[in-house]
Structure 1
Amino acid sequence: MAANMKQISVSHAAKMVGVSTATMRNWARAGHIAPARARPLAFTEMAVLSLKTQLGSGSLQKLKTRANKVRSEENILPGEYASNSDLIENIKSLIKFVKQNQLRMDAVLYVAALRLLVIDGEMIRTSETDLFDADSYAAWRRDSTRVEIEQWRNCLGEIKNNNLYSKCYEFITLTDGDDYLGLLYQCLSVEGGKSEGGAYYTPSKIVEDSLRHCINPAYKSFLDPCCGTGKYLIYAAKLLQIKPENIYGFDIDALAVKLARINLLRAFKHHDFSPHIHCLNALENLATGEIFCVTNELLGAIDIVATNPPWGAYKNGGVLPQFSPQIKSGETFSMFLAKSLNLLKEGGMLSFVLPESILKIKTHADIRKVLLEQGRISKIVKLGRQFTGVFTPVIRLDCIKGKQIPNWLISIEDDQTAFSIEQERFFANDNYAFDIDVGKNEADILNKLHLINHITLLKNAEWALGIVTGDNKKYILDHREENAEAVFRGSDVQPFRLSEPKSFIHFTPESFQQVAPERFFRLPEKLVYRFISKKLVFAYDDKQSLTLNSANILVPHIPDMSIKVALAYLNSSVFQYVFQKKFATHKVLRGDMEKLPFPVIDKHVHDQLEKMVEVILQGRGSYEEMDELVFSTFNLSSEDAASIRHEVRN
């Protein structure tokens, strides 16, 4: 297939043009761009480039104007991106004005860039009439800045309501501190678009801490493969004192690239240069090794690569094998990590902000293996939740490219503790899991728990998914009707017992999207557990209850162990400890549960535990007493038992 006939996805096309996926779909329906394929929707690269050219020339300016309108109901101000409260208030006022007047985002950002450059003394505004007229500015300090602004202006096309943009210009008075242009762009961008692209801009403190860890006089070059508006590039200039000609940035968002270029010019006020920041898909087109690739010189040539990459499945999956053969998961951040290792020199430093799921989720075993084989992880910092509207906790991972060193220690940090663990341990873990919550003492306890004679659920249990209706609003009732049955959600599952039912359903399996064989629901007894959970929560059911897919089913068949005794272990402090230290990923996964060690116990202990569970199920009895008996079956010392209780309670 010729290069210009290559088919690209609708989301990729939207990023190339600088609009939302919904806008691209609307333009296709209206006939402004011809699809190459209807299902799934795709375009030829040539068609997208042609559309982009028409938008830039102004021949399709009405389309671009509508696409650039700021939708008031979807804008947010991410307080984590700026530390200056006065700056935030200034931007709030500007955004309010922009929304009220439905101004074009690209034009507003252009005006903001002009204002900042005038404040910096880059040029003088000589006329108050036409803000967008190049002749309104004189005494340019640098040719590079003038050329940058002129090229941007040519892309804007016709601008209406010039007087309203002039008022925007006057709004901008406070610019010190953070990346003003980046913050403004973040606020004007619709939340749905950022989420769809997996892109969330990075808080200043995280960027600063990341690059402070990279300070090394021997490091002379820096690259951000998904630079956004250039925050990492700005801090590389400020903290690492790297020369502008050795700073590189790439991003698929053309508007963000324009802002990043302005930001880097502002960071080096006394250098006349053209920034090495370009609109480019770094995964597909940067330093590919192909004969005509002009960026091949960057392969193995960079000292520091630092970024907050997009998260989520890579949208243009058809090209995965050719540029990221080690990564089978299709995860975007994994491919950026692998790409960055290729760009680094031996001894170079990588620093990435990543979702905490990279540490243990089986899907990410491929990139963990790559990191362990090609680098020495120097630090992992647990950062918690950092992004407005994103519930996923994040980490920072720092890695030095190079061969393994015996007994290499990784520093593990959070806001309260710091300790070190050997990298070699990760090689021995299932799926190369980075079990950073396990220090030496915890590792010793886990080892003791698994050394005892035990059996697991592997090949000793049946599992079933709760009902997936496909449309809960249609099928789930909030009151009981004739012939409707109670159905339990994950939130209804409490330790040992199900809550009183709050939801009901007419059980018509043929109507649902997915449903387990009915026999699982109708068993005389079964266990029900929360699927989405940071801890183990299992309940006993002997009423043949129905469950939704947030409350899944386990039927243990452990030799010489009743279902109630299995329940005692699954809700015990010991198993909570094992789950938290080895598997905690906000989901209770079958593969993890099949590794839990159920000790082989004598009949007397078994019967004691069973009676204790029966009393608890009746609303009486002592959970603590049952837990003590579970502890005794593992032959733990009082010190180890105390450590487990402390960790679980905290």
Structure 2
Amino acid sequence: MDALLSVREAAEFLGVSQATVYHWARSGILQGYQQAVRRFPAEQVHKLQRAIAAGHVPRLNARANKRHADGYRTPFPSRPEDGNDASQIIRLRRLIRERQLNPACILYVRALRLLAEAGEWEPATPFSPALPPASRWRRQSVARIMRGWRRDLGVSVLSAADYRRPFELPVEPVSGSDQLGFLYQALRRTGSRVQAGSFYTPPEVVRSMTAGLTPHDGFTLLDPGCGSGQFLLGAAEAGWEFDQLFGIDLDPLALRLAALNLLLAFPAVDALPNLKCADALLTDSFGRRRFDVVIGNPPWGRLADGELRRRLNRRYLRKRNFSESFSYFLLRARALAVPGGTIRFLLPEAILNIRRHAEIRSELLNECTWRGIAECGRKFSGVFTGAITLDLLNIPPSPNHRIEIRPEAGPEFQLLQTSLKPESGLVIQSGPLENSIWEKVSRYPHRTLKDSGAEWALGIVTGNNRKWLLPVGSRGGEPIVRGVEVQPYRLAPAQYEIFFDPKKFQQCAPERLYRVPEKLVYRFISRRLVFALDRKGVLTLNSANNLIVPPAFYPMKLIAVLFNSGLYQLLFRSRFNTHKVLRSDLEQLPLPDFPAPVRAELSGLADRLLAGDASAISRVDVVLASVLGLTEAEKVLVTEL
């Protein structure tokens, strides 16, 4: 029997959501779905993945993007102050293409040139790419590294004619001291870097992350994915000694560059650095040793290898897969750091607020003290994900601990760690006032929709709106509401009608959920909360979803008042910062348990708003601000929304 994959497994393999997998199955892009067992043939999933990668599915070509790119890209945008001579890199790339030269050999020759410039050996005249004899090396540790590199290249003859030009190009200064690592990344094809989740860290980020790491006597520092050694070099510049620095990496060439970099940073040392070529997630490279500082820029890539995920889950006792490799690196860092030690990683900002990272957020919030979060912005060329630095202590937080938040723009502020909820995450662009308001609303006695027993109904997906949707009054169908017709408190007149035949629709909730005597209808695609109260049992298209809350739990007209208010627009924006109104986000918004007089006043305001009295809008925020104790500055912020 052919192997079958669940929808979740197919989604993880293809790097998309489960909803996208279902959509591709319905539209015929992914074939072979077996409804009875809710499985796909593995071969069909693999076939689609190969077709996307090759660009053979025009509708999905955007998904074949950088993961399969075959071009080059400079690791980060060069700037005049860096002194990076981009033309030199362009010349080396041209030599690779025109003469069919081996990039690894070019890197080896450039390393020879850099070592000659540093006085580690004296080059012969005329140029020869042959390794100099041991007697011509200043340090035997450097000679040993280069000898092993030359042997591992496995090239019997490095033509002097071919490699003289790469050798003779001058060594251009690069911001930071990792010239070989910069060149290595620049000569790697974009696709290979993206697949590995490997990106060259900008020197200014390295400097900011290693700043303030005091190298006390006996302290040790580890980078578990050290690459060419950038963070180890940064620590060396911050005063750490050679024997205090440790690194692990899977890439033997990057590790060789790290060894050379460290020896160049410590010119008086003639010994091999503490570096191991291994998988830091699966091996104990330095035995039972634990480190005072674990720092680095772990791989960001999605884990497509199912067997690897299973091995990692067994090792880390996980019941569910993490989708990204950096989550496992965070778990590993906790095991490698001493109790109370520092963990400082450069991570995608998605770890703060994307739902699939809620589990790792929960573990870190419970088990680590979050000292600081610094927003770095988009630091990697061709990578559209923003980056943050996360600074942790490997010890649970005290009840009143506050996190230092450093946005890329705007003032720094503090945030109570216990106010963060793993499900909602943190949008650090929200600022101190927004977070203060969130803390006040969260501390007020409340309930949430998650515990309400509410029923949720998605709008109808016809599969072909041109066929099913007709202008109102054209053929005697019944009105159907779109998201654009959902207004605060009330529904605008529908512009289209439909003949309700749920068996023929691509998606349709049970009819009773549309026909209930009272329900909330809300816009799905929106950066604002827009909720209307429907008492006519109208049908809705998929841009307008439906919510039915038991009246005994919380009156729906009060929910409409809260969710349409300026206060809740601010809460929604500051916590979720999304263009979709998701059920999981709504389930986290607090529904305050107001005293009876406040509920009565808000209920009266709701009746006025439902009747079209817009003058009651401002009064809602006045009442909420008063009972929740907002400051004058916080009230002004709310009124701006």
Q: 1:422 to 1:563 in 2, by over 3 A?
A: closer
State the Cα distance separating 1:602 from its structure 2 match: 6.2
Q: Is the contact between residue 126 and residue 138 of structure 1 (CA under 8 Å) also seen in structure 2?
A: no
- Distance across 2 between alignment mates of 1:491 and 1:112: 60
Matched, 1:395 2:394: no
| SS at structure 1 position matched to 2:545 | strand
State the Cα distance separating 1:208 from its structure 2 match: 0.8
- Distance across 1 between alignment mates of 2:281 and 2:261: 24
Q: Counterpart amino acid of 2:412?
A: A
- Equivalent in 610, 629, 632 of residue 620 of structure 2: 629
State the Cα distance separating 1:174 from its structure 2 match: 0.8
- Distance across 1 between alignment mates of 2:486 and 2:86: 45
Matched, 1:257 2:251: no
State the Cα distance separating 1:134 from its structure 2 match: 1.9
1:208 maps to 207
State the Cα distance separating 1:453 from its structure 2 match: 7.4
2:293 maps to 304
Q: 1:584 to 1:641 in 2, by over 3 A?
A: farther
2:182 maps to 183
- Equivalent in 95, 107, 110 of residue 109 of structure 1: 107
Q: 1:582 to 1:100 in 2, by over 3 A?
A: same
Output aligned runs, 1:234-245, within 5 Å. 234-243=233-242, 245=243
State the Cα distance separating 1:76 from its structure 2 match: 1.8
Q: 1:433 to 1:86 in 2, by over 3 A?
A: closer
Q: Counterpart amino acid of 1:217?
A: H
Q: 1:216 to 1:636 in 2, by over 3 A?
A: farther
Q: Counterpart amino acid of 1:122?
A: E
Q: Counterpart amino acid of 1:646?
A: L
State the Cα distance separating 1:226 from its structure 2 match: 0.7
Q: Counterpart amino acid of 1:591?
A: S
Matched, 1:343 2:353: no
| SS at structure 2 position matched to 1:282 | coil
- Distance across 2 between alignment mates of 1:233 and 1:508: 65
Q: Is the contact between residue 346 and residue 387 of structure 2 (CA under 8 Å) also seen in structure 1?
A: yes
Taking structure 2 as the reference length, what is the TM-score of the superposition?
Answer: 0.70
1:383 maps to 376
1:546 maps to 541
1:463 maps to 456
- Equivalent in 290, 301, 315 of residue 323 of structure 1: 315
Gaps of 5+ in 1: 1-8, 10-36, 42-70, 288-294, 470-474, 616-620
Q: 1:649 to 1:240 in 2, by over 3 A?
A: farther
Q: Is the contact between residue 211 and residue 236 of structure 1 (CA under 8 Å) also seen in structure 2?
A: yes
2:228 maps to 229
State the Cα distance separating 1:308 from its structure 2 match: 1.1
Q: Is the contact between residue 92 and residue 166 of structure 2 (CA under 8 Å) also seen in structure 1?
A: no
Q: Is the contact between residue 461 and residue 508 of structure 2 (CA under 8 Å) also seen in structure 1?
A: no
Q: Is the contact between residue 514 and residue 546 of structure 2 (CA under 8 Å) also seen in structure 1?
A: no
Deviations, residues 217-256 of structure 1 (Å, cap 9, x unaligned) = 346322100112211111112213322x332111122332
- Distance across 2 between alignment mates of 1:438 and 1:517: 39
Q: 1:379 to 1:326 in 2, by over 3 A?
A: farther
Q: 1:445 to 1:107 in 2, by over 3 A?
A: closer
Larger CA deviation: 95-104 vs 460-469: 460-469
Q: 1:226 to 1:72 in 2, by over 3 A?
A: closer
State the Cα distance separating 1:422 from its structure 2 match: 4.7
Q: Is the contact between residue 134 and residue 150 of structure 1 (CA under 8 Å) also seen in structure 2?
A: yes
- Distance across 2 between alignment mates of 1:508 and 1:445: 44
Q: 1:296 to 1:464 in 2, by over 3 A?
A: farther
Q: 1:322 to 1:638 in 2, by over 3 A?
A: closer
Q: Counterpart amino acid of 2:136?
A: A
Q: Is the contact between residue 452 and residue 634 of structure 1 (CA under 8 Å) also seen in structure 2?
A: no
Deviations, residues 589-636 of structure 1 (Å, cap 9, x unaligned) = 423312324567768855754664675xxxxx96x8625434425644
Matched, 1:150 2:144: no
| SS at structure 1 position matched to 2:452 | coil
Taking structure 1 as the reference length, what is the TM-score of the superposition?
Answer: 0.70
1:273 maps to 271
| SS at structure 2 position matched to 1:283 | coil
State the Cα distance separating 1:212 from its structure 2 match: 0.9
Q: Counterpart amino acid of 1:253?
A: D
State the Cα distance separating 1:260 from its structure 2 match: 1.9
Output aligned runs, 1:2-17, within 5 Å. none
Q: Is the contact between residue 442 and residue 590 of structure 2 (CA under 8 Å) also seen in structure 1?
A: yes
Q: Is the contact between residue 485 and residue 506 of structure 1 (CA under 8 Å) also seen in structure 2?
A: no
Q: Counterpart amino acid of 2:152?
A: C
Q: 1:106 to 1:430 in 2, by over 3 A?
A: closer
- Distance across 2 between alignment mates of 1:638 and 1:409: 21
- Distance across 2 between alignment mates of 1:193 and 1:614: 61
Q: Counterpart amino acid of 1:385?
A: R
Q: Counterpart amino acid of 1:93?
A: I
Deviations, residues 543-566 of structure 1 (Å, cap 9, x unaligned) = 84533xxx5623243639897875
Q: Is the contact between residue 90 and residue 171 of structure 1 (CA under 8 Å) also seen in structure 2?
A: no
1:643 maps to 634
State the Cα distance separating 1:387 from its structure 2 match: 2.6
- Distance across 2 between alignment mates of 1:258 and 1:139: 20
Q: 1:413 to 1:481 in 2, by over 3 A?
A: closer
Gaps of 5+ in 2: 1-8, 10-41, 47-67, 472-479
- Distance across 2 between alignment mates of 1:204 and 1:506: 62
1:124 maps to 122
State the Cα distance separating 1:448 from its structure 2 match: 4.8
Q: Is the contact between residue 211 and residue 235 of structure 1 (CA under 8 Å) also seen in structure 2?
A: yes
- Distance across 1 between alignment mates of 2:247 and 2:334: 16
Matched, 1:529 2:520: no
Q: 1:613 to 1:99 in 2, by over 3 A?
A: farther
Deviations, residues 279-317 of structure 1 (Å, cap 9, x unaligned) = 211000135xxxxxxx2142x2x2221111123544411
- Distance across 1 between alignment mates of 2:123 and 2:135: 7
Deviations, residues 242-282 of structure 1 (Å, cap 9, x unaligned) = 22x33211112233223222222222223212122232110
Q: Counterpart amino acid of 2:509?
A: P
Q: Is the contact between residue 522 and residue 544 of structure 1 (CA under 8 Å) also seen in structure 2?
A: yes
| SS at structure 2 position matched to 1:269 | coil
Q: 1:190 to 1:176 in 2, by over 3 A?
A: closer
- Distance across 1 between alignment mates of 2:372 and 2:108: 39
Q: Is the contact between residue 382 and residue 396 of structure 1 (CA under 8 Å) also seen in structure 2?
A: yes
Larger CA deviation: 401-410 vs 261-270: 401-410
- Equivalent in 129, 136, 139 of residue 136 of structure 2: 139
State the Cα distance separating 1:446 from its structure 2 match: 4.3
Q: Is the contact between residue 565 and residue 610 of structure 1 (CA under 8 Å) also seen in structure 2?
A: no
State the Cα distance separating 1:130 from its structure 2 match: 4.1
Deviations, residues 70-111 of structure 1 (Å, cap 9, x unaligned) = x99632224358774431424443355246425433222222
Larger CA deviation: 634-643 vs 259-268: 634-643
Percent identical? 28
Q: 1:258 to 1:441 in 2, by over 3 A?
A: closer
1:592 maps to 585
Deviations, residues 443-478 of structure 1 (Å, cap 9, x unaligned) = 466435763777747436433457899xxxxx78xx
- Distance across 2 between alignment mates of 1:391 and 1:241: 34
- Distance across 2 between alignment mates of 1:193 and 1:183: 15
Q: 1:642 to 1:261 in 2, by over 3 A?
A: same
Q: Counterpart amino acid of 1:197?
A: A
State the Cα distance separating 1:483 from its structure 2 match: 5.1
Q: Is the contact between residue 326 and residue 370 of structure 1 (CA under 8 Å) also seen in structure 2?
A: no
State the Cα distance separating 1:523 from its structure 2 match: 6.3
Q: 1:130 to 1:425 in 2, by over 3 A?
A: same
- Distance across 2 between alignment mates of 1:357 and 1:81: 26
C-alpha RMSD over aligned residues: 4.8
1:89 maps to 86
1:410 maps to 403
| SS at structure 1 position matched to 2:370 | strand
Q: 1:39 to 1:282 in 2, by over 3 A?
A: farther
